[in-house]
Structure 1
Amino acid sequence: MKNRTLRLAVALPVAGLLLGALSACSSSSSSEESAPLSIVASTNVYGSIASAIAGDDATVTSLITNANQDPHEYEATVKNQLAVSEADLVIENGGGYDDFMDKLVKASGTDATVLNAVEESGLAPAGSDTTDEIDGFNEHVWYDVAAVEKIAAAVRDDLSDADPDHTEDYAANYSAFVAQLNGLEKTEATLKKSYKGESAIITEPVPLYLLEAVGLKNKTPSAFSEAVEEGDDVPARVLQQLLDIIGSDDLALLAYNTQAADTTTVHVQMAAEAAGVPVVDFTETLPKGTSYVTWMKANLKSLSSALAS
């Protein structure tokens, strides 16, 4: 990973310059040196994580902020490219999830540090190209709390490299954020004690890391969730396999991605509700007015309620 340094305007004293001119240059230099870092994140999930670490020492721009929008279908704008071109740190998910970010980085010519969350998560197979789709890999790494701790550590380190004067602030913010993540992990462990081994189905792999963390087993035919994730038609026989599971298995819940819904997923949702299977909604980005931690707390609360029903 290339560490980007701040571009600072340095006022060089020149013999013969008037004192007033020197003062003006010094003032301009100080202003630029004190300007906060600029962070651009592909989604507000990573924007929230970055904000937690950066505090007041950086500005954060998230390109995707609408919880009703499918990130897989996002089309970047000229405004997005400008933001990336002026960034000190760019955060992408990677793993083929937000490949528009790589295009923006190349098109903008930025020399910003690019943080790839899949790479930092430690979840991808060794030797994988984390900028591209990885066969059989669930790239939705932000639903793994332990992975988010590693991603947050990378944010801390990159910010400290770019802005050494605020290293202690970034370290303190990181420690406070990790304490909150530890609270989430305690909730996961508590749920796992009660519900380990119970079965669940999904429309997409989005929340799968979270479901696994509370001990649930995914019973969904992989051909179904893969087709939904890729936006492909689900073969009739695969859909019937899932409907048979809903009708015959003792399922704890259906995890439903509301940001990638279509007629097939709605059909599955209705079948689950008719069979008395609790449906838990999940999103890929933060709902308005939430942070990463409050969002995950809400997700875990919804899981707990469904599992207890």
Structure 2
Amino acid sequence: MEARKTKIGAWTALLPLLLLAAVLAGCSGSGSAQGVSEDGKLLVTATTGMIADAAKEIGGEHVEVTTLMGPGVDPHLFKASQGDIRKLDRAAVIFYGGLHLEGNMERVLEKIAAQKTVVAVTDGMPRERLIAGAEESEEFDPHVWFDVDLWKSAAETVTDTLIQKDPSNAEAYREQGERYLNELGQLDAYVRERMLEIPEKGRVLVTAHDAFGYFGRAYGVEVVGLQGISTAAEFGARDVSALRDYLVERNIKAVFVESSLPARSMEAIVAGAARQGHEVKIGGELFSDAMGEPGTPEGTYIGMIRHNADTIAEALK
């Protein structure tokens, strides 16, 4: 009986994905399915803001980019709506993160790839530069954008894809891609400089989930998360107690909340440390799995990374 319930539960979880795939298959060839806007721009849909921002920077005036997951949205738990289905259907190119960042939605994206250009921006990244996932369900940590130098590979993948899909504007894509890579190089240097302002002993980044592994490896920061790599993983009282004790033992003075996750878990840890006579403050809000609001500096990839580096440096130095 228990096995039967498990099977029913699995089918229930897959039902939205199957419906999404069916709707997309039925929609192909309708409306904007040719993937070009009324003013002749290539229609691009990206799952996350970080990927969408790269497509906008590299595509420039020749593309119209739509984002599925806006500010504050957790990609690990994202469920596509009817509106998201239309965004996927009308696109000529779909970019996604891969490495299980988008959870079960990746299976649908892989099916759509039989009908149109669907590209995981992590596909071209050297596997030796990826961090192994902590959970059995994940082969690699998907939060690659926190190593700015590694994120250059994603930008190169976006550039190559746009050139292949729209060769008439290839020169513009190459030029804009090179400009963006140069800006990423400057950003990488900026983050390194800011982390060096923190005394080596104090370079400990404590966050709600383990999203900053690439950041820690690239910039010499020890990273500790309450939850695992995916926020779909559960955490309990034992995890909270262990992290609280870690803060007390290491005399850590600041922890950080994330824009795409509730702050209450970290607030509970701060309160628990206070009950043991150790004062810990919330050092600020970091952007992890989603960028800030459009029109703000944090609403771009470069602005988001600079914000994080500044927030960490000011709280820990």
TM-score by length of 1: 0.75
Residue 185 to residue 252, structure 1, CA distance change in 2 (3 Å): farther
Identify the residue that residue 193 of structure 1 maps to in structure 2: 196
2:98 to 91, 94, 106: 94
Q: Decide whether the 8 Å contact of 1:44 with 1:285 is kept in 2.
A: yes
Q: Secondary structure at the match of 1:188?
A: helix
Residue deviations 1:85-111 (CA, integer Å, cap 9, x gap)? 232211111122213543543665762
Partner amino acid, structure 1, of 2:262: A
Partner amino acid, structure 2, of 1:171: R
Q: Decide whether the 8 Å contact of 2:37 with 2:64 is kept in 1.
A: no
Separation (CA, whole Å) in 2 of partners of 1:153 and 1:121: 10
Residue 80 to residue 48, structure 1, CA distance change in 2 (3 Å): same
Larger-Rg structure: 1
Separation (CA, whole Å) in 2 of partners of 1:146 and 1:36: 29
Separation (CA, whole Å) in 2 of partners of 1:138 and 1:63: 21
Separation (CA, whole Å) in 1 of partners of 2:37 and 2:188: 41
Identify the residue that residue 303 of structure 2 maps to in structure 1: 294
5+ residue gaps, structure 1, are: 1-30
Q: Decide whether the 8 Å contact of 2:283 with 2:315 is kept in 1.
A: yes
Residue deviations 1:95-153 (CA, integer Å, cap 9, x gap)? 22213543543665762222213323335788x9xxx9524x32111222112210010
**TM-align CA RMSD:** 3.1
Residue 269 to residue 209, structure 1, CA distance change in 2 (3 Å): farther
1:41-190 equivalences in 2 (<5 Å)? 41-67=46-72, 69-105=73-109, 111-123=115-127, 133-135=137-139, 137-190=140-193
1:61 Cα offset (Å): 0.7
1:157 Cα offset (Å): 0.4
Q: Decide whether the 8 Å contact of 1:138 with 1:205 is kept in 2.
A: no
Identify the residue that residue 213 of structure 2 maps to in structure 1: 208
Q: Decide whether the 8 Å contact of 1:200 with 1:252 is kept in 2.
A: no
Q: Secondary structure at the match of 2:228?
A: helix
Work out the percentage of aligned pairs sharing the same amino acid.
18
Partner amino acid, structure 2, of 1:39: V
Aligned length: 269
Q: Decide whether the 8 Å contact of 1:47 with 1:62 is kept in 2.
A: yes
1:230 Cα offset (Å): 2.5
TM-score by length of 2: 0.74
Separation (CA, whole Å) in 1 of partners of 2:255 and 2:311: 12
Residue 275 to residue 172, structure 1, CA distance change in 2 (3 Å): same
Partner amino acid, structure 2, of 1:113: T
5+ residue gaps, structure 2, are: 1-35
Query: Given the alignment of the two structures, is residue 258 of structure 1 paired with residue 259 of structure 2, yes or no?
Result: yes
Q: Secondary structure at the match of 2:123?
A: helix
1:188 Cα offset (Å): 2.1
